[in-house]
Amino acid sequence: MPLYEHVYLARQDASAQQVEELTAQLKGVVEGLGGSIAKTEYWGVKSLSYRLRKNRKAHFTLMNLNAPPAAINEIERLERLNEDVLRYLTIRVEEHEEGPSAMMRRAERDRDRDDRRGDRFDRGDRGDRFGDRGDRGDRGDRPRDRDRRPREDAEETETPATED
């Protein structure tokens, strides 16, 4: 049987539980038609590059499938009918990637990086980088534009009245 990688995006207002239920439903369809799912990964809610059906974020889910083409056609048909699914993409591959996908490795790498930083940015303040004005000095008590009044020595110009 051919191997596929299938990714779908669900609306941001769908709960993680609803997304898991949809994944379980799709898994049941694939297994009912003689296929199997090697791996599923929930990548979480991520920002989209552009709005899709008024959504700026979406739940991302990956499924590695070992299924006949009829099963792929059926899950894509079900996703077209489901209002919660914004987009889907199925790609035929020669072999499935072992271990976590690139997205999961990236999330793990980001967590490791944050752990190495320690509590540098956890204090709530912005640290030396933004707190001190350095060599710029204090601005002092300078008037702001909204506080300025028209000068008294400026001549007011009167507009001549026109007679009708």
The SS3 call for residue 161 is coil
Q: Is residue 21 part of a domain?
A: yes
Q: Is residue 147 part of a domain?
A: no
Contact between 22 and 10 (Cβ < 8 Å): yes
Question: CATH number, domain at 28?
Answer: 3.30.70.60
* pLDDT (0 to 100) of residue 105: 78
User: Please, are residues 29 and 63 in contact by the beta-carbon 8 Å criterion?
Assistant: no
Q: How confident is the model at residue 152 (pLDDT cuts 50, 70, 90)?
A: low
**Given phi > 0 = left and psi -120 to 50 = alpha, else beta, which region is 159?**
beta
Task: Answer whether residue 155 is part of any domain.
Answer: no
Residue 142 in any domain: the answer is no
Residue 71 or residue 162, greater confidence: 71
Q: Is residue 129 part of a domain?
A: no
pLDDT tens, position by position, 8-67: 999 999 999 999 999 999 999 999 999 999 999 998 899 999 998 899 999 999 999 999
At residue 114, the pLDDT reads 79
Confirm whether 96 is domain-assigned.
yes
d(CA 94, CA 56) in angstroms, rounded, equals 33
User: Kindly report the CA angle at 76 between 72 and 82, in degrees rounded to 5?
Assistant: 145
The chain-wide mean pLDDT, for the chain, equals 82
- Decide: 3 and 93 in contact? Cβ < 8 Å: yes
Residue 138 maps to a domain: no
Q: What's the pLDDT score for residue 13?
A: 92
Q: How many domains are contained in the chain?
A: 1
Tokens of 155: 């001549």
Provide the residue range defining the domain that includes 79.
Answer: 3-116
